[in-house]
Amino acid sequence: MNYCERCHVAVENEQCPVCGETPLRLVRGDDYCFLVEKEDMWARMLLEILEDNGVHPISHDATDVVWVMRGGEKSRQCIYVPFRHWQLAQELMQTAFPE
Ligand SMILES: [Zn+2]
């Protein structure tokens, strides 16, 4: 897996699908990778689940202008997890929010 430092995403490709950056470097275990963006309430629930399972996530407010313009007052959060826990985090998320 490769990693884009600008976008904090882990990808299979040589090129970042978000910003087009290339070449990408190999991802390291402690690189924070974008997991998901969720409404504040759900984000906090997911952060708790991750913490409980030994994953140490970080999060920050998403600046989603389009979404705010649709009339929403609720804030959203982007959640990132270290790459070595990324697979586990995906599974935990699937369990918590089956879609
Ligand atoms: Zn990028």
- What are the tokens at 3? 């990693």
For the stretch 27-59, pLDDT in tens is 999 999 999 999 889 999 999 999 999 999 999
- 10 Cα–ligand 1 center, Å: 9
Sheet holding 76-82, edge to edge: 32-39, 76-82, 58-61
- 22 Cα–ligand 1 center, Å: 8
**78 assigned to some structural domain:** yes
For the stretch 77-91, pLDDT in tens is 999 999 999 999 999
**9 assigned to some structural domain:** no
- 33 Cα–ligand 1 center, Å: 11
Q: How many distinct structural domains can be found in the chain?
A: 1
Q: What range does the domain containing 52 cover?
A: 28-96
